[in-house]
Homo-oligomer: A and B are copies of this chain.
Amino acid sequence: MRVVVTGAAGFIGSNLVDRLLAEGHTVVGVDNFSTGLRYFLEPALGNPQFRLVTGDILDQPTLLSAMQDSEFVFHLAANADVRFGADHPTRDFEQNARGTANVLEAMRLSHVPAIAFASTGSVYGEATVFPTPEDHPFPVQTSLYAASKLAAEGLIEAYAETFAIRGYIFRFVSVLGERYTHGHVIDFFRQLTEHPESLEVLGNGKQRKSYMYVHDCIDAILTVLDRSKEKINMFNLGTDEYCEVNDSIGWISSELGCAPRIRYTGGERGWIGDNPFIFLDCARIRALGWRPKLTVREAVVQTVRYLRDNIHQINRT
């Protein structure tokens, strides 16, 4: 199958590209390299089944060039810099909502019949039910990032209804693993490799975080694509466990062989809009037979090992 991956040079995107190529698909990757890294695409760029389109998803000609004769779009391109939403109030909406509107229009014009979209568990806002099911009560949005992802979800649903496009929407917890580039694990890793004796932690360290391993995430997506064929297919993706930031500090420190003195900046949240708790009910995806292979702890450790081996390339690019 000929497929398009937007955000192909990103963390999840580049792993997905490698997997799709390994399964024999022809892949067109789109990336503007605003946060994606060419380093992550090095394996793909050596494969004749891969074509890279360098450009922004807000540029319609870029998208139309990528979509020609394609059968499926994995839409992962996004501003994923959740934490600094308030510093750039329009960025989330432009990149994530308007970007998705553009992708859908390009699909419609190019007759691409199906899309998988990387949404987020943070669309549940201040959830009132844990673990949170897909049909949680209509939530109130608490961050520009989540609001922009919710806007994109709604657009995909409306296009599915109006233009007979099939939509797969995945509400992720945070993802860890090879090519992970932002979030608290890399912040802590950087701090502890610079000064192993001390660590500054935003908030009180008691923030509860759900994570899943990137290859488990990709397995889950491909399982759903194979087994669920509704007009709109909506799935939470996560593990059945969570950790506190403090737990992850222990695992990271242990892996790096250090015992830092910890300074907490205080407060229940790391930053404005930081959701204190995302913990998803994943019964729906599990009913399709998917199981995560790595625990949260194993995913954190795997990530630290990857960073140890690759941080120079990540920092350099």
Binding site for B on A (CB under 8 A): 85-86, 89-90, 93, 97-98, 101, 104-105, 108, 124-125, 134-144, 146-148, 150-151, 153-155, 157-159, 161-163, 232, 234, 272-273
Assembled-state Cα–Cα distance A143/B90 (Å): 24
> Could you give 30 example pairs across A and B, Cβ below 8 Å?
A85-B158, A89-B108, A89-B162, A89-B163, A90-B105, A97-B97, A97-B151, A124-B138, A135-B137, A137-B137, A138-B138, A138-B139, A140-B234, A141-B155, A141-B157, A141-B158, A141-B161, A142-B161, A143-B161, A143-B162, A144-B158, A144-B159, A146-B154, A146-B158, A147-B151, A147-B154, A148-B154, A148-B155, A150-B154, A162-B272
Assembled-state Cα–Cα distance A140/B161 (Å): 10
Taking CB atoms, residues of chain B closer than 8 Å to A134 are 138
Additional A-B contacts beyond A89-B105, A136-B137, A150-B150 (9; CB < 8 A): A85-B162, A90-B101, A90-B105, A93-B98, A97-B151, A142-B158, A143-B158, A147-B154, A151-B154
State which of B124, B147, B157, B162 has its C-beta within 8 Å of the C-beta of A140. B157
Distance to closest chain B CB from A101 (angstroms): 5
Q: Do A147 and B158 contact each other (CB < 8 Å), given the known contacts A90-B101, A105-B90, A137-B135?
A: yes
Assembled-state Cα–Cα distance A229/B213 (Å): 43
Interface centre among A98, A125, A142, A155 (most CB of B within 10 A): A155
Assembled-state Cα–Cα distance A98/B93 (Å): 8
Taking CB atoms, residues of chain B closer than 8 Å to A97 are 93, 97, 101, 151
A86 near B162 with CB under 8 A, answer: yes
Interface centre among A138, A142, A155, A273 (most CB of B within 10 A): A138
**A109 (CB) vs chain B CBs: closest residue:** B89
Assembled-state Cα–Cα distance A136/B138 (Å): 6
**A155 (CB) vs chain B CBs: closest residue:** B147
**A134 (CB) vs chain B CBs: closest residue:** B138
